[in-house]
Structure formats: structure tokens, C-alpha cells
Amino acid sequence: MAEKKKKIATNPLKITDTTFRDGHQSSLATRMRTEDMIPLAEAMNEIGWYCMEVWGGATFDVPTRFLGEDPWDRLRTMRKLLPDTKLMMLLRGQNIVGYRNYADDVVDEFVQYTAECGLDVFRVFDAVNDTRNFEAPFRAIKKAGKHIQGSVCYSLTQRRMGGEVYDLDFYVKKAKIIEQMGADSFCIKDMAGLISPYDAYDLVKALKAAIKIPIELHTHYTSGQGSMFPPSPRLNLSLLPSKARTEI
């Protein structure tokens, strides 16, 4: 009997692993050292992730202040050890990886050098969803020829999505603006684990109808709701032990 050919999905699930950035930032105060990551890198490269988030956020600040490491060396090392995997960073919009707004030329130089060190995908967010803080980073990322993933921070003023501010229309409008600004993909960034399964379903469904770029869901397990899988073709995961109670 002839062996049946395995069907290849036309739109397979794409998974971004966050173990080397958000996983340990959320549960270990970003205290993973580069030497802790090196023994895992070869196996991680072979898994076939769509992307790995390995840099940005607090992984610039903490190595510099507390670990005695050069964060640029970490990025270059990850690029060398993960040759078959796209690398992602979390960029805090105009704040870059700091805690204040920086001048446009600083943003431009930072992005260009980061790209030269081997980064592929820039996930860009602003803590208060002010898309004006995306203008300079988006220009710089486009100039470097890299992938822009524009994000909206998921927030609530009541138990479920809705109310006077954070309703479905709010997120759809933000997504449209981010797409028009030149983003290559869009991320629902639920960094506090607030989104419910029902609201996730409604939001992803509405976004699919409103924008053409790919949609990614990033959430956390803090509230215990992070185990749901809404109809998003892209998800973020982190490996145990860094995921428990924080990262999905």
C-alpha cells in the first residue's frame, strides 16, 4: 500500500520563542547570562522557530549594570550560534532600550548598528500606545532593511475589553495606523496577561478583517488565562522553567 503523502499547511502556525529575552526577564529579573544560553543555542536553532526573541527590553540595561557583560557581544554571539533562526528584539519606541525619549539621530544609529550585529525583526512598542513614538524607529528600521513588527499594548479599564477607552474599536484603529506607518506585521502585546480567551478571539477576528499584515499574539500566564489559543497564525512561547506563571 502506497504511503500517503503528508499534507503541507498553506498557512502554518508560526511560533516565536521568547526564552532568551522575555522568559527570563519576567521570571528571573533578566539574570540569565550569555554563558547560560550558549549550551542551549544549538538545540534551539534546530527546532524551527519562526523567530527567537533574544535581545532588547531589559537585556541591554541588566547585562551592563549587573552582569558585567557587553549586550552587543550577546547579540553577536546569538547571531553566530543561531544561523538558521530569525532574531528579534523588543524596542521601546523612541525610548530604544532606555527609560526616556532619545533624539532621532540616536534612534537611527542604534537601529543601524543593531541590524549590523545580526538582528532581523524589531518588535516596537510604546508604553502608552502613542504611535508618534514609532515614527523615528520605523524610518530607521526600514532604512536598515529589516522587519518592523508594530505593537499595541493591551490594557483594560474593566474586567473585559470595552468601556470608554480600551474597546475593540480602539485596538482596530491603532492597528490600522501602525499598518499605514509601514509595519510588516502587528503584535497584540499583552504583557500583563489581561486578555481573556473570549476577547482574544473577538480581537484577532476583528484585526484579521481590518488589516492585511500578519498578526501575532504575545501574552503572559500571570492571570492563569494565557493557555488559550485564539485564531492567530502566530504565537509567542517560552520554554520551562522560564514560562511558568509569567510567559505563555
**Is residue 138's pLDDT more than 80?**
yes
pLDDT at 1: 47
Close Cβ partners of 159 (under 8 Å, ≥ 6 residues apart): none
Average pLDDT over residues 5-19: 78
Does residue 231 contact residue 209 with C-beta atoms inside 8 Å? no
Interatomic CA distance for residues 108 and 138, integer angstroms: 9
Say whether pLDDT at 228 is over 60: no
C-alpha cell of 206? 476583528
* Dist CA 56 CA 71 (whole Å): 9
Q: What is the pLDDT of residue 241?
A: 53
Beta strands in 41-146 (DSSP E): 51-56, 87-91, 121-124
For 44, 60, 115, 178, 215, the CA distances from 83, given in Å and listed in that order, are 11, 22, 15, 30, 25
Alpha helices in 145-227 (DSSP H): 168-180, 197-210
Q: Most distant CA pair in the chain: distance in Å?
A: 67
Q: Which residues are 61's β-sheet partners?
A: none
Per-residue pLDDT at 223: 60
In terms of Cα–Cα distance, which of 198, 196, 207, 194 is closest to 234?
207
Residue 237, pLDDT above cutoff 90? no
Whole-number mean pLDDT of the chain?
Answer: 89
Cell 485564539, residue located: 230
pLDDT digits (tens, 9 = 90+) for 85-102: 999 999 999 999 999 999
What is residue 220's DSSP assignment? B
Residue 21, pLDDT above cutoff 70 = yes
Which domains, ranges and CATH numbers included, belong to the chain? 14-237 (3.20.20.70)
- Work out the percent of the chain whose per-residue pLDDT is above 70: 87
Q: Does residue 173 register a pLDDT over 60?
A: yes
**What's the rounded Cα separation, in Å, for the pair 188 and 178?**
12
DSSP state of 117: T
